[in-house]
A and B are shown apart, each in its own frame.
Chain A
Amino acid sequence: MDGQLLEPTLYTIKGIAILDNDGNRILAKYYDKNVFPTSKEQKTFEKNLFNKTHRANAEIIMLDGLTCVYKSNVDLFFYVMGSSHENELILMSVLNCLYESVSHILRKNVEKRAVLDSLDIVMLALDEICDGGIILDADATSVVQRVALRTDDIPLGEQTVAQVLQSAKEQLKWSLLK
């Protein structure tokens, strides 16, 4: 029974992936060198995972000795993987944070096209959620604060007065410098 007792460690996440609706990788990170060491093995696993999950909207599955929790929207699939003995609810909290952060970054427009348009920010968000397999933050609001969204991307109505002033100032400065 000893195998079931988890070593007390901060290393919780084995992998995080975002796939499109053909099962192709948009972003994926594997944090444990013993789990799928080569990119070929990773992609085979992703294909397999996608085939098993894209029709069943079931939220959780065991595959290749990993517990994978997942969530999908329009043409995107979000996955968080952990060891098969890991607390599923911890994995779920990470998945929810990932999804909500991405949704917030894309202003609720969660689809492939939008992710690719803001890929840089989504990469930063992923980096803020998990650092080398350790959960860095699992609160979407604070993740979004930390990735520093470009202020000029936010529609005028949602900006604060200070932000509007700041961007006006910068535009003025540049027009003078020209």
Chain B
Amino acid sequence: MNAFKRDKKEEEDGGNPFQNLEKTTVLQEARTFNDTPVNPRKCAHILTKILYLLNQGEQLGTTEATEAFFAMTKLFQSRDVVLRRLVYLGIKELSSIAEDVIIVTSSLTKDMTGKEDLYRAAAIRALCTITDGAMLATIERYMKQAIVDRSPAVSSAALVSTVHLKNVSGDVARRWANEAQEALNSDNIMVQYHALGVLYQARKSDKHAVIKLVAKLMRSSLKSPYAACLLIRMACKLLDEVDEGTELLEFIESCIRHKSEMVVYEAAHALINLGRSSTREIASAISVLQLFCGSPKPALRFAAVRTLNKVAMTHPAAVTACNLDLENLITDSNRSIATLAITTLLKTGAESSVDR
């Protein structure tokens, strides 16, 4: 029964309902958006078609885009969640092409401050794509509130938008740093990550502020693995610039014992690429990479062998310990891994290993 139904459906629309879409026809269909009351199902389908065309690389002229954009604004009348979310997507896609996009500011501000969490987070992100320098002051208060919101989705959306807004105004991150500092204490791993990103952006021009931030966070082990990776990168950047930094180096080395593989690898990668790690640190990095070489996950094996390949150029003797693991990877089903393993062995291998 099910198969029969499906065959019939496939006959009707030739397999792909989005194949052979004509730009002009779809844009004409968009006039349906003006009907009252709005038919959410039908409009969502048409909007999906427009988004699909844009995604396929179809170019819209300014007039076409503006017309479609204005038709879309009519859909704010409907309370259908999916439709509303698609409208936000449409706003983001068309904001760079259409004119007078600023017209949706008040609708978006209303959604952003409303009760529905599902609207708020997405509305913030859409609003920030149409915000310009002049408008920033009007939304500033709401944005600061959103950053410290108890809903992680809302908080993340506001923090990520802060990062994007640097193209509009260079100092937003600095102005909202207090709120970001508060968000850094969040239990949510993504909020913590995004907050750290904003804080770094706010302070990156002031080296001493970055040193203070890193020093503080080094002691308070971050819960989020993403944030921990970012912190390692911040520490590396500092090590590259300052002369002293034993503490920073120790911190990166301690991350090798982190419980998340992502952070362990980030730390090992950092130690090897820093260029000022001592033999002891290189050795501990190599020993975790050696473990990764035997992992069932291809991405992990790839990451490990790629980094070993790199360190083999500067410290070939240290990599010799992994020769046996690397030899196993020569026959790996992933060709990139096999190639990297062979080139690494060429740098470290000795005559004694030729027989094997």
| Chain A residues within 8 Å of B, Cβ to Cβ | 1-2, 4-10, 25, 27-29, 39-40, 42-43, 56-62, 69, 87-93, 112-113, 116-117, 119-121, 123-124, 127, 131-132, 134-139, 142, 146-148, 150
Contact = CB atoms under 8 A, between A and B. Distances in A.
A132 B163 CA distance: 10
A120 to B, nearest CB: 4
Interface in B270-286: 270, 273-275
Contact of B194 (A10, A28, A60, A91): A10
A81 to B, nearest CB: 13
A127 B89 contact: yes
B44 A10 contact: no
B334 A132 contact: no
Contact of B233 (A6, A43, A88): A6
Contacts of B45: 120
Contacts of A92: 297, 299
Contacts of A29: 55
Nearest to B56: A25
Given A6-B236, A42-B57, A127-B89, 15 more contacts: A1-B275, A25-B55, A25-B56, A27-B55, A58-B335, A59-B299, A88-B303, A90-B262, A113-B10, A131-B160, A132-B164, A134-B164, A136-B157, A147-B85, A148-B81
A89 B300 contact: yes
A93 to B, nearest CB: 7
Contacts of B47: 120
B102 interface: no
A138 B86 contact: no
Contacts of B341: none
Judged by DSSP, the binding face of A is: mixed
Interface in B298-346: 298-300, 302-303, 310, 333-336
Given A10-B160, A56-B334, A5 B274 contact: yes
A134 B194 contact: yes
Contacts of A40: 57
A137 B226 CA distance: 11
User: Which of B10, B197, B240 has the most CB atoms of chain A within a 10 A radius of its CB?
Assistant: B197
30 contacts: A1-B275, A5-B233, A5-B274, A7-B237, A8-B230, A8-B233, A8-B237, A10-B163, A39-B57, A56-B334, A58-B333, A58-B335, A59-B298, A59-B334, A87-B269, A92-B299, A113-B6, A119-B48, A120-B45, A120-B86, A123-B48, A123-B86, A127-B122, A131-B160, A134-B160, A134-B197, A136-B160, A137-B190, A142-B152, A146-B153
B16 interface: yes
